[in-house]
Amino acid sequence: MKSKTIKVNHLARVEGEGALDIKIQGKKLKDVKLRIYEPPRFFEAFLRGRDFREVPDITARICGICPIAYELGASYAMEDICGIKVEGQLRALRRLIYNGEWIESHVLHVYMLHAPDFLGYQDAILMAKDYPEVVKRGLRMKKIGNEVLALLGGREIHPVNLCIGGFYQVPAKQKLRTLLDNLKWGRDAALETVTWVAQFPYEDLNVDYEFVAMRHPDEYAVIEGRLVSNKGMDIPIRGI
Amino acid sequence: MVIKKKQKSLPHKKYKPKLAVFKFASCDGCQLSLLDCEDELLAVTGEIEIAHFLEASRRVLDGPYDLSLVEGSITTPHDAKRIRDVRKISRTLVTIGACATAGGIQALRNFKDVKEFVSLVYARPQYISTLATSTPIVEHVPVDFELRGCPINKSQLVETISAFLQGRKPQTPTSSVCMECKRRGTVCVMVAQQMACMGPVTQDGCGAICPAYNRGCYGCFGPKETTNTESLAKWFLEMGMKKEEVMRTFRGFNGYAPEFRQESERQEMG
């Protein structure tokens, strides 16, 4: 039987670094190896001895694409230790800035990292030659996510305004209002995005996976929830 | 006749300089700054050929590259070799961000024993290949320009790329964060609220955002030129901070930059 090996030494358009080796024999897949070759940075080790208030800014540097995840995760951990709970409007503002990150990071993912594969382009810039309006819509959505991050956090990447207990400074209502028109446009653009993505050709593939996600009884689980799976796993994330 | 046709089919094609982006030990944030230029991105790609930028494209054009942006610090034997290869194929090499310019937050290992770090973090230390230090690019190869920040400021990035296209020096300030606070009209958080602020010794470029958000600067753009870290440390101590706290304040995202490193070591020694 004929065998074939596909080696991708550097995976492109992914958040991070990795390589992929695929072995095929005849028409059967024999082996797949995903190699993550990001160098270790040892956050767990050098955090020892730091003041607890410094931790969110430091853990943010784990990833520049999703720093809020790490800033909030570290803040929750420290708040659990201190026995404080951030609720009400501060919680709502935390949810808002995290949503800004979701918009920015997920639009990046859908439009600039994944869509070119489905539509047969090497990147979003080349895709823009044939789909200028689509790419422009994506860039505008991404920018709106970044505007939420910058307004609440001071800047888009590694925002400086989050701390244990909430924020160093809460934004003025008037400033928050300036986001409204763009966010309303963004909601329509998000619906158009769903319609657009739904037309992508997907392989008819059924694999017996265990899907894991966060779940919250009252809201879309973004900042809090339990870790659940389609096979019955259900564990608390905090306060174990 | 044939010659005439040939001339017609060969219009003058503008040479687009080739841009490459390389990543070493880092968080991806600085190269994301390029994709965060939502308004400028398509215009920039009209002037420049993105020839190697794995986070954005699977199209890889061969070197040499006219401008290479390097993110991240050198932390593995493999990367110490790779940066020399990158230098060979780059006409101009610009480091972007605190990791590439000063070793980054992962340079905190430089003050400790990395072997202990490996065994503490990884269940199977034998799989981990790492150097004892995290070092800036300039310790390995010549660097043409260093763009500061954790992360870099995207306006400064666009300015740097434009400056390169026009063959001039990038106009990025070398003054302190204090200057920008004055320009913004931010009341000094250290004078008025006794907050520890690294502004006086830190290079501007962020826009002095921390004091504007009611907190002290944490030095993410690294030391400004001709800093007086000793004087600021003295102020911190007079405000009631312990030596250990002062040491930690200097030992952050740019803790391995010589000026900050010397001050943190001075505090550590006694």
Please tell me which residue of chain B has the smallest CA distance to A125: B42
> Quick check: B35 and A146 in contact, CB under 8 A?
no
B183, B212: one domain: yes
pLDDT at A111 over 80: yes
Helix (H) / strand (E) element for B79: namely helix B77-88
Q: Does one domain contain both B186 and B151?
A: no
What phi and psi, each to the nearest 5 degrees, are found at residue B66? -75, -40
Q: Tell me whether residue B171 is in a domain.
A: no
By the CB < 8 Å criterion, does B85 face chain A?
A: no
Closest listed residue to residue A2, CA positions, set A32, A25, A23:
A25
How far apart (Å, rounded) are the C-alpha atoms in residues B27 and A43?
12
A102: left (phi over 0), alpha (psi -120 to 50) or beta: alpha
Tokens of B71: 């993110």
Q: Which chain B residues are within 8 Å of A45, Cβ to Cβ?
A: 109, 112, 116-117, 120-121
Residue window 31-60, chain A: list those with CB within 8 Å of chain B: 38-46, 49-51, 54, 57-58
Is residue B94, in this structure, part of any structural domain at all? yes
User: H or E element: which one contains A44?
Assistant: helix A43-46
Domain of B71, in residue numbers: 18-166
Per-residue model confidence as pLDDT tens digits over A53-70: 999 999 999 999 999 999
3-state secondary structure (DSSP) of residue B74: strand
Cross-chain residue pair A112–B35, CB shorter than 8 Å: yes
Mean per-residue pLDDT for A43-51? 96
Same domain for B82 and B134, yes or no, is yes
Same domain (yes/no): B162, B265: no
CB within 8 Å: B58 and A139: no
Same domain, B30 and B81: yes
The answer to whether residue B12 sits within a structural domain is: no
Asked if residue B209 and residue B132 are part of one domain, the reply reads: no
User: What per-residue confidence (pLDDT) applies to A223?
Assistant: 86
Instruction: Domain count for chain B, please give it.
Output: 2
Place of tokens 């110490």: B80
Are B142 and B183 contained in the same domain? no
Q: What is the pLDDT of residue B12?
A: 63
> Please, is A103 exposed, middle or buried when counting C-beta atoms within 10 Å of its C-beta (0-12, 13-18, 19+)?
buried
Q: Same structural domain for residues B28 and B115? A: yes
Q: How confident is the model at residue A222, as a pLDDT? A: 86
pLDDT digits (tens, 9 = 90+) for A161-174: 999 999 999 999 99
What's the CA gap between A99 and B102, in Å, rounded?
Answer: 32
**B221 and B115 co-located in one domain:** no
Among the three residues B166, B197, B228, which one is the final residue of a domain in this structure? B166
Same domain, B157 and B182: no
Would you say residue A109 has pLDDT above 80?
yes
A127 vs A223, more confident:
A127
- Residues B115 and B138 both lie in one domain: yes
| The domain boundary residue, chosen from B120, B141, B166 | B166
- Pairwise CA distance, residues A221 & A89, whole Å: 17
- Confidence grade of residue A16 (pLDDT, cut at 50, 70, 90): confident
Query: Domain A43-202, what fold?
Result: Cytochrome-c3 Hydrogenase; chain B (1.10.645)
> What is the C-alpha to C-alpha distance for residues A151 and A161, in angstroms, rounded to an integer?
10
Mean pLDDT of all residues in A155-159: 97
B3 inside domain = no
Residue ranges of the alpha helices (H) in B109-188?
114-121, 154-166, 177-184
Per-residue pLDDT of chain B (270 residues; tens, 9 = 90+): 444 444 455 556 678 999 999 999 999 999 999 999 988 888 888 889 999 999 999 999 998 999 999 999 999 999 999 999 999 999 999 999 999 999 999 999 999 999 999 999 999 998 899 999 999 999 999 999 999 999 999 999 999 999 998 999 999 999 999 999 999 999 999 999 999 999 999 999 999 999 999 999 999 999 999 999 999 999 999 999 999 999 999 999 999 999 999 999 999 987
Q: Does A139 touch chain B (CB under 8 A)?
A: yes
Q: What is the pLDDT of residue B10?
A: 53
Degrees to nearest 5, angle at CA B83 with A58 and B134: 30
User: Higher confidence at residue A189 or residue B269?
Assistant: A189
Mean pLDDT of chain A: 94
Same domain, B39 and B150: yes
> Which of B111, B136, B166 is a domain's end point?
B166
Q: Give the domain ranges of chain A.
A: 3-35, 43-202, 204-240
Q: Mark out the alpha helices in A108-220 (DSSP H runs).
A: 115-119, 124-130, 132-153, 173-177, 180-198
